Structure 1
């Protein structure tokens, strides 16, 4: 269907490459400047493209601006280290300016002025952002486009020709179409849903590597940077496992959620907090993936010496506890926790490979509430949580 204009909004269904080129050529021919905003009503996302006489000054928005910034630095500006704490402090100081979403552009311009990066590197960084955003627009089923000519970003860096970026993107999009993965969003993160089945299909070393890699904290785009390949290659490698249900793709938050001073977000604070005390980071990663997908908050404690202090301060609603750990056994730690009034009624479930009568007796004597096999199955894990917490 061809684009149609409603109340100064241009509704575009299936924002194909041909439609993109047509739109930007018309903007160039009219020499228009301002902020071009694309909205996806289904995903409730917005992207912003800043134009100057029809050329692109910068682009921003979408679901993961901080993750995109991190990837950009790694790929295009390797001399600039990405430090999340420093970025958070800087954005906090400039909070009043965030409404225009141009802090990245201002940072690039500042680095060019200081000769930290070259003008060509800045142009490459801008082109990188524009490419990712236009790819996301291409995947959207429908976008609503509007131009605010009162919001003009005066360029201080080299402008980007829209047609050059779109033409390059056309080749990439064709590859996604040929691989039949255009419905797989590169901003989603792969996670392991069935660890037991994965163990049966891979070697121990491969399984351990996958657990560390697919821990639910990296999107397909993040993984492509880490693995030095393309997001398409990543999704194609994982696709057989996704189709069999061993892996899944989930939405994850940005690295740094920017919250306005007048709008605090307590959306997840009422969800039960599940803690896992286990000296194995791999087990903690698996538990975090499954528990997070089930809608609960998660806390990992990998050093049993810190367990009592951390658990008292965080007050989890349920605790998974490994039996065999260095410095203190699960039995002793459970008995110690039961001495605190805060944990008198808290469900404590032992993670164990041994479920014999003697082990169960010792566990009950120490104050445990239940058992779960150490080879964690997603369905069993969630079922245990529901049994002890109900539908909280």
Structure 2
């Protein structure tokens, strides 16, 4: 979790949940935050994804952002663009990853010059919103769940605010330009690696190849490479796409960078004490999948699981349940019995046919808990039952039993 010290021990309270169905609705909510002078943390999560993003407001203005797949890389790039840190060595796993640990420590203490801090915050928010738009386009029928957590009276950040509508428009323009250039199927968070060196050398000049070979080592994302080459990520990716499509360069998923071991960081990167959605703890949370076409039940389950400290994906289309479960690999599945087109018994049987899900707990939810129902559920491989309506103590008991 990359959080300045002024946010690290803030208590958040009075959480409110809202679900929106479009980018325009999200923009309206951000404008509402501005008009109402909202102060606190706004967590965003698409129902079909485990990935989560957080925006922080003071009196209606955006002052920080974190989350997504690469929060450390994102901060690193912003520091690099401001000239506050040197490029990473080729071996990003070494402890000397950061040549200036004090730069990050100063960032975490809110001690950077105001102009630099403002540039860093703008860059963070712009990347995070771009990634959100891109993921939403991948799952167009997925709704965005928003959790507003109001800050207590001791919340005193030192970052100058940024108008939400301004940065939201910039990120949207970035995403539309990405789409219009035929790049919607690619992520700027993917790492680039030369896959066919001989074939690539035959198509480009020797000097150009040497430059690419130094950068395309599979340890830097397209965004990382763009910053180091002083180009926009759009321009860089457009140059590489012909070679990617020929199989000469390969794109692959890559992990986030480790935090540098600066002395102060163990104290400055503690997750928010009042929030269960920190990106650092998210990776450690068991992931629960809830397959149910009812939006209200999905929202209820989301709230309960969030309070219990679990990450949750809500799958509303049962026909898409198996591909999404394979993608996210949850630790437990709650499965509604009565759904259109295909019922819970059939979905359960499909899940059990996949070897990876042979032992995963599958809990069927139903308002009809009879002997015949239990027998049929056991026959298709269900682990247990949960009676509807959904209640906090019932969900908690199931999780304590199957995910001790």
**Normalised by the size of structure 1, how large is the TM-score?**
0.53
Q: 1:10 aligns with which of 14, 18, 21?
A: 18
Give a deviation string over 1:93-138, Cα, whole Å, max 9, x none.
xxxxxxxxxx97x8437453xxxx4222211221111111111111
Task: List aligned pairs for 1:35-184, cutoff 5 A.
Answer: 35-76=41-82, 78-79=83-84, 85=95, 107-108=106-107, 110=109, 112=111, 117-141=112-136, 142=142, 143-150=144-151, 153-184=155-186
The 1-side partners of 2:110 and 2:61 are apart by 22
The 2-side partners of 1:137 and 1:165 are apart by 13
Q: Unpaired segments of 5 or more residues in structure 1?
A: 1-6, 92-102, 266-392
Native 8 Å contact 1:186 1:220 kept in 2: yes
Native 8 Å contact 2:34 2:164 kept in 1: no
The 1-side partners of 2:244 and 2:165 are apart by 35
Aligned residue for 1:63, secondary structure, equals: coil
Aligned residue for 2:250, secondary structure, equals: strand
Q: Unpaired segments of 5 or more residues in structure 2?
A: 1-14, 89-93, 137-141, 261-265, 271-279, 285-404
Native 8 Å contact 1:109 1:156 kept in 2: no
Give a deviation string over 1:267-326, Cα, whole Å, max 9, x none.
xxxxxxxxxxxxxxxxxxxxxxxxxxxxxxxxxxxxxxxxxxxxxxxxxxxxxxxxxxxx
Report the equivalent of 1:240.
Answer: 242
Residues 1:240 and 1:151: Cα distance change in structure 2 (over 3 Å): farther
Native 8 Å contact 1:187 1:221 kept in 2: yes
The 1-side partners of 2:184 and 2:47 are apart by 19
Native 8 Å contact 1:139 1:183 kept in 2: no
Aligned residue for 1:202, secondary structure, equals: coil
Residues 1:123 and 1:109: Cα distance change in structure 2 (over 3 Å): farther
Q: Which has the higher contact order (CA 8 A, sep 6+)?
A: 2
What is the Cα deviation at residue 81 of structure 1? Answer: 5.3
Native 8 Å contact 2:110 2:159 kept in 1: no
Report the equivalent of 1:214.
Answer: 216
Residues 1:257 and 1:42: Cα distance change in structure 2 (over 3 Å): farther
Native 8 Å contact 1:36 1:48 kept in 2: yes
What is the Cα deviation at residue 85 of structure 1? Answer: 4.4
What is the Cα deviation at residue 146 of structure 1? Answer: 1.3
Native 8 Å contact 1:191 1:216 kept in 2: yes
Native 8 Å contact 1:20 1:166 kept in 2: no
The 1-side partners of 2:86 and 2:204 are apart by 35
Aligned residue for 2:217, secondary structure, equals: coil
Q: Bigger radius of gyration, 1 or 2?
A: 1
Q: 2:229 aligns with which of 227, 230, 233?
A: 227
Report the equivalent of 1:360.
Answer: none
The 2-side partners of 1:87 and 1:241 are apart by 29
Give a deviation string over 1:206-238, Cα, whole Å, max 9, x none.
334322221101111101111101000111111
Residues 1:20 and 1:210: Cα distance change in structure 2 (over 3 Å): same
Native 8 Å contact 2:20 2:26 kept in 1: no
Report the equivalent of 2:364.
Answer: none
Native 8 Å contact 1:37 1:47 kept in 2: yes
Report the equivalent of 1:199.
Answer: 201
**Normalised by the size of structure 2, how large is the TM-score?**
0.51
Native 8 Å contact 1:35 1:49 kept in 2: yes
Native 8 Å contact 2:16 2:149 kept in 1: no
